[in-house]
């Protein structure tokens, strides 16, 4: 206890020197927190864009459908399945879909298209398709019309109010052919979706394919992807064969790989940042010890044991690290909160790249607690390691030279 008291008093005997040392830790924490917050904020944004654009946070489907996406491998949506999912804690919305392919024709022009039967109301909570309607209107429940993606509509030379012919193979090989009025034109950020998508009411889609009450997947939404692991554990315990439930990362492995690769690059960058922070702190510690060489020599000369002196110096370094890390967390909170509420807007090629990927050209920040305490702990640990240097100096200090300093 006496060591801590002496160390604390020593810190404030020269408050300017202590402030400089603490500032190194303070700015190190702020820089690492800001960088990590921006990094994980971008990951959260990427995940939200993917799940809210199409896949949802999780999907339930027949195991055979995952291996062979044919309409014969679709599942029957029963009340018990719907009730089980809706009652799962953490699930906010569900939306049923029926997805298959057909030939789309207008006059003498024909092209393959992906038909996606949706519940217009529930789908709006999942992917908000209505916001991509460039012309016309969104589907209503029970609507017998369709929404056509813009490039497909241009290729078939159709517009609002025109009729499109869909011809394909339905459930168990039945012929699927019918006429559908075009209610709206969709324009997505992704070119591949603009080239082939046709949306229709799921009831209309089931009748068209002769697949009454059958769906290809049940899409599940949660409030935040951090809530997903608990939801997945619950669903996997209650959903039995032949059905299976898969999360967004299982459905989008390429996105996971991209995030992992970026995270690896981020780790390398943070290592460089921590090295800069470490040398900054080390420099201030060296300065602090150099200024006190004569003082330390006199203290040892009048009888203080070296191990006690080493303990005091180490405690001073630890206290400096604690104060610097704590103030760094406090100082970083308003900065991160501001950028969390006011994301950085990108311009130029970087903005266009993100728009082409279907994402907003904004740099988001994260408020996850680990963003703050992980960085503070890391910088504090660096400070503690650097605290070995004053201990070394205390045990190797030559009194004659110190007294002449």
| Residue 287 and residue 342 in one domain | yes
Q: CA torsion sign, 309 to 310 to 315 to 320?
A: positive
In a domain, 164, yes or no: yes
Residue 64 near residue 82 (C-beta atoms within 8 A): no
| Residue 307 and residue 397 in one domain | yes
Cα–Cα distances (Å) from 106 to 59, 100, 194, in that order, read: 34, 19, 17
More confident residue, 325 or 225: 325
Take residue 202 and report the two structure tokens written for it: 């799921």
Question: Would you place residue 402 in the very low, low, confident or very high pLDDT band (cuts 50, 70, 90)?
Answer: low
> What pLDDT, on a 0 to 100 scale, did the predictor assign at position 164?
92
For helices 369-386 and 306-341, the axis angle rounded to 10 degrees is: 160
Reported as a single tens digit per residue, the pLDDT across 60-101 is 999 888 888 888 989 988 888 888 888 888 888 889 999 999
Q: Number of folded domains in the chain?
A: 2
| Residue 88 and residue 144 in one domain | yes
Residue where one domain finishes, among candidates 185, 215, 245? 215
Give percent of the chain with pLDDT exceeding 70: 96
Domain range for 84 is 70-215
Closest CA to 393 of 284, 293, 282, 278: 293
Give percent of the chain with pLDDT exceeding 90: 19
In a domain, 169, yes or no: yes
> What pLDDT, on a 0 to 100 scale, did the predictor assign at position 146?
93
Q: CA torsion sign, 343 to 129 to 163 to 72?
A: positive
In a domain, 262, yes or no: yes
Reported as a single tens digit per residue, the pLDDT across 138-150 is 998 888 999 999 9
| Residue 199 and residue 326 in one domain | no
| Residue 279 and residue 359 in one domain | yes
Q: Is the pLDDT of residue 231 over 70?
A: yes
The answer to which of 201-205, 277-281, 317-321, 399-403 has the lowest mean pLDDT is: 399-403
In a domain, 111, yes or no: yes
| Residue 29 and residue 83 in one domain | no
> What pLDDT, on a 0 to 100 scale, did the predictor assign at position 45?
77
| Residue 262 and residue 363 in one domain | yes
| Residue 108 and residue 22 in one domain | no
Reported as a single tens digit per residue, the pLDDT across 260-298 is 777 777 778 888 878 887 887 788 778 777 777 787 777
Question: Would you place residue 1 in the very low, low, confident or very high pLDDT band (cuts 50, 70, 90)?
Answer: low
The answer to which of 38-47, 176-185, 320-329 has the lowest mean pLDDT is: 38-47
Alpha helix (H) residue ranges in 157-292: 191-194, 202-209, 228-238, 248-251, 253-291
> What pLDDT, on a 0 to 100 scale, did the predictor assign at position 10?
75
Residue 373 near residue 325 (C-beta atoms within 8 A): no
> What pLDDT, on a 0 to 100 scale, did the predictor assign at position 89?
87
Take residue 277 and report the two structure tokens written for it: 């922070």
Take residue 153 and report the two structure tokens written for it: 């509509």
Strand, helix or coil at 334? helix
Residue 325 near residue 29 (C-beta atoms within 8 A): yes
| Residue 36 and residue 154 in one domain | no
In a domain, 347, yes or no: yes
| Residue 39 and residue 94 in one domain | no
Residue where one domain finishes, among candidates 157, 191, 215? 215
Cα–Cα distances (Å) from 225 to 24, 230, 382, in that order, read: 35, 10, 32
Take residue 164 and report the two structure tokens written for it: 């499109």
| Residue 30 and residue 153 in one domain | no
Take residue 246 and report the two structure tokens written for it: 């898969």
Q: What number is the average pLDDT over the span 98-124?
A: 90
| Residue 388 and residue 277 in one domain | yes
Mean pLDDT of the chain: 84
Reported as a single tens digit per residue, the pLDDT across 172-210 is 888 888 999 999 999 887 777 788 899 999 999 999 999
């Amino acid at each position: 206890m006496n060591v801590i008291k002496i160390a604390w008093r020593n810190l404030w005997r020269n408050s300017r020197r202590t402030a400089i040392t603490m500032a190194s830790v303070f700015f190190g924490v702020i820089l690492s927190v800001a960088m990590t917050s921006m990094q994980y904020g971008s990951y959260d944004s990427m995940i939200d864009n993917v799940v809210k654009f199409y896949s949802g946070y999780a999907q339930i489907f027949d195991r055979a459908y995952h291996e062979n996406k044919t309409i014969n491998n679709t599942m029957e949506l029963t009340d018990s399945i719907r009730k089980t999912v809706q009652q799962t804690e953490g699930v906010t919305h569900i939306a049923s879909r029926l997805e298959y392919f057909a030939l789309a024709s207008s006059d003498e022009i024909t092209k393959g298209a992906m038909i996606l039967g949706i519940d217009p109301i529930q789908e709006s909570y999942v992917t908000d398709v209505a916001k991509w309607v460039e012309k016309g209107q969104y589907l209503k429940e029970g609507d017998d019309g369709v929404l056509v993606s813009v490039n497909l509509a241009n290729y078939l030379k159709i517009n609002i109010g025109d009729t499109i012919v869909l011809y394909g193979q339905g459930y168990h090989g039945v012929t699927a052919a019918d006429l559908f009025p075009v209610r709206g034109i969709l324009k997505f950020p992704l070119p591949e979706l603009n080239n082939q998508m046709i949306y229709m009411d799921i009831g209309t889609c089931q009748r068209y394919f002769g697949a009454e009450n059958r769906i290809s997947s049940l899409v599940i939404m949660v409030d935040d992807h951090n809530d997903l692991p608990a939801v997945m554990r619950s669903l996997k315990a209650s959903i039995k064969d032949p059905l299976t439930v898969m999360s967004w990362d299982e459905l989008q492995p390429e996105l996971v790989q991209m995030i992992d690769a970026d995270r690896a690059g981020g780790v390398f960058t943070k290592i460089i940042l921590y090295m800069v922070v470490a040398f900054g702190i080390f420099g201030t510690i060296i300065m602090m010890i150099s200024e006190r060489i004569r003082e330390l020599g006199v203290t040892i000369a009048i009888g203080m044991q070296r191990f006690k002196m080493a303990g005091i110096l180490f405690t001073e370094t630890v206290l400096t690290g604690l104060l610097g890390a704590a103030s760094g967390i406090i100082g970083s909170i308003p900065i991160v909160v501001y950028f969390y509420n006011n994301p950085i807007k990108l311009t130029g090629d970087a903005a266009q790249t993100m728009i082409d990927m279907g994402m907003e050209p904004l740099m988001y920040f994260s408020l996850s607690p680990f963003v703050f305490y992980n960085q503070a702990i890391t910088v504090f640990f660096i400070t503690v390691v650097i605290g070995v240097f004053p201990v070394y100096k205390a045990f190797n200090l030559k009194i004659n030279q110190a007294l002449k300093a």
